[in-house]
Amino acid sequence: MAGRPRQFDKQQALAQAMRVFWEHGYEGTSMSALVEALGLASARIYAAFGSKQQLFEEAVALYESGEGGFAERALAQADIGAAIGQLLRDAVATYTRADHPRGCLVVSAANGVAAENIGVLNWLAGHRQQRTRSIIERLQLAQAQGQLPATADVQALGDFYATFLHGLSVQARDGVPAVALLQAVAQALKLLQ
C-alpha cells in the first residue's frame, strides 16, 4: 500500500526554484534540475505550480517582492538624487551578494531563450520595460517638483539609467567586483548634479 506523498512547503520550494532559475536562467534550468533542487517529483512540481513557465513566473514574483524589490523602495525617496543613487547602489549590493547568484534574475534569465519559449522572453522584456517606465515617471515627477531643470530630457535620462541598471546586472554576472561597479555608479550620478 502506497503512503501519502510527504507534505512540502510551497514557499520554500518556490524559493529553491527561484535560486535555480537565477543561477541558470529560464532555458538553462531543466525539469531534472528543478526536481533535484526541490526534492520533489516532476509530477508534484507540475501539480503545485502548473508548468515550468508558471513556476518561473512565480519565482520572479518572489524575487521582485524580496531581493529584487529594492527599486521600488529606492524610487520612493523624495529627493531624485537620493532615489537614483540608492537604486543603483542597492542594485550593486544585490547583484554582487556572495550568498546569491550574481546579477538580476529578470535580466539574466532572458539569455539564450529558445524560439519555443519566446513568450517567456517577451514576458521578461515587459518586466524590464516596466522598470524603465518607473524610472522615467520618477524623473518626470522630480522635474515637475523643480528638482530637475525644465530643459532636462527625462525620457533620455530615464532610458540611460534603466540601461545602466540592467548593465550593472550583466557586469556583476561577469564577475566585475562591487567596488568597480560603485565607481561607475558615482560617474552615472554626476548626470543629476
pTM given for the model: 0.89
Hey, what amino acid is at 116? E
In a domain, 83, yes or no: yes
Q: What is the pLDDT of residue 9?
A: 85
| 1 domain-assigned | no
Q: Does residue 105 sit in the same domain as residue 16?
A: no
Residue 124 within a domain: yes
Q: How confident is the model at residue 115 (pLDDT cuts 50, 70, 90)?
A: confident
Q: What is the pLDDT of residue 6?
A: 54
Q: How many domains does the chain have?
A: 2
Helix runs in the chain, H state only: 10-24, 31-38, 42-49, 52-65, 70-75, 80-95, 105-108, 118-144, 154-173, 178-189
Instruction: Give the domain extent around 160.
Output: 66-192
The verdict on residue 186 lying in a domain is yes
Is the same domain home to 35 and 94?
Answer: no
Per-position b or e across 171-188, b if 16+ CB within 10 A of its CB: bbbeebebeebeebbeeb
Q: Per residue in 36-93, pLDDT tens? A: 999 899 999 999 999 999 999 999 999 999 988 999 999 999 999 999 999 999 999 9
Q: What was the pLDDT predicted at 118?
A: 87
Q: What is the pLDDT of residue 113?
A: 74
Spell out a b/e string for 148-163, using b for 16 or more CB atoms within 10 Å of the CB, else e: beeebebeebbeebbe
